[in-house]
Amino acid sequence: GESVGLHLPTLSVQEGDNSIINCAYSNSASDYFIWYKQESGKGPQFIIDIRSNMDKRQGQRVTVLLNKTVKHLSLQIAATQPGDSAVYFCAEPPSRTGNQFYFGTGTSLTVIP
């Protein structure tokens, strides 16, 4: 079945630096990905999404890059702030309506003041 996974479980960055969180996927037919942020004790929150007809999408301080050739996507956070400390998941919506969202292993981002 499909799998979505992250390369590193933890990441520590200095406040103000840029953060890059990576994610690999295995299903070459995947055409839509979502990044979620989960703060401690809270539900995952949507950050940004990208479809396979794009290789880059920008939001407020966040950019997602998609490399379909190597089945890899990354989340870049510019000027990381303490409030960015959280666990980040990449997720793949189901290929069939109603099927599960596949979550990759989360990366815990810690911002050092």
Q: Which residues bind another protein (CB under 8 A)?
A: 32, 34, 36, 41-46, 49, 89, 91, 93-101, 103-106
Nearer to another protein, 1 or 113 (CB): 1
Nearer to another protein, 69 or 88 (CB): 88
Asked if residues 86 and 42 have their Cβ atoms less than 8 Å apart, the reply is no
CB of 36 to another protein, least distance (A): 8
Q: Find the Cα–Cα–Cα–Cα dihedral 11, 35, 86, 24, rounded to 10°.
A: -30
CB of 50 to another protein, least distance (A): 11
Nearer to another protein, 15 or 39 (CB): 39
Nearer to another protein, 27 or 93 (CB): 93
CA distance 56 to 66: 6
| DSSP character string of 1-52 | ---EEES-SEEEEETTS-EEEEEEE--TT--EEEEEEE-TTS--EEEEEEET
CB of 57 to another protein, least distance (A): 13
